[in-house]
């Protein structure tokens, strides 16, 4: 986002940045003070819960990952599953 923050979801040993469009959608909901928002990832609906700071697949909540909002400059694995070389 323009203030230098991005949204991340948990990987096995590090953080993945959300794709730019999804990160913007999450940021918009977060700034509005909403408790959660839904996103579409590869055909699946996920709920991003800002109180628990978790992402969960809507039809399978056992598929959960921590999420965080942090600076765009932090070390990361990549963006939406595309690894940084
Ligand atoms: N954006 C993109 N892909 C996602 C997202 C998302 N927000 N959430 C889940 N997936 P689950 P390592 C991740 C993918 O939570 O080696 C990474 O992007 C998820 O991809 O059980 O463990 C990597 O591509 C997974 O492939 O619903 O760090 C991959 O895992 C699939 O949806 C490996 O990352 C099921 O995730």
DSSP the chain: -TTSEEEEEE-SSSEEEPPHHHHHHHHHHHHTT-SEEEEEETTEEEEEETTTTEEEETTEEEEEEEEEEEETTS--SEETTEE--
Query: What's the pLDDT score for residue 1?
Result: 66
Confidence of residue 3 (pLDDT cuts 50, 70, 90): confident
Nearest protein Cα to ligand 1, atom 19: 81
ipTM above 0.85, yes or no: yes
Ligand 1 atom closest to 11 (CA): 28
Distance between CA 15 and CA 13 in Å, rounded? 7
pLDDT digits (tens, 9 = 90+) for 46-78: 999 999 999 999 999 999 999 999 999 999 999
Query: What's the pLDDT score for residue 2?
Result: 66
Nearest protein Cα to ligand 1, atom 20: 81
Nearest protein Cα to ligand 1, atom 22: 12
Kindly give the distance from the C-alpha atom of residue 1 to the centroid of ligand 1, in angstroms, as a whole number.
22
């Amino acid at each position: 986002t323009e203030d230098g923050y991005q949204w991340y979801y948990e990987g096995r040993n590090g953080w993945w940045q959300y794709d730019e469009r999804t990160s913007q959608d999450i940021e918009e909901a977060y700034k509005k003070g909403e408790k959660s928002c839904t996103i579409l990832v590869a055909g699946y609906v996920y709920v991003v819960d800002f109180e628990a700071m978790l992402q969960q697949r809507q039809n399978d909540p056992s598929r959960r990952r921590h999420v965080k909002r942090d600076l765009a400059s932090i070390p990361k694995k990549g963006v939406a599953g595309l690894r940084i070389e």
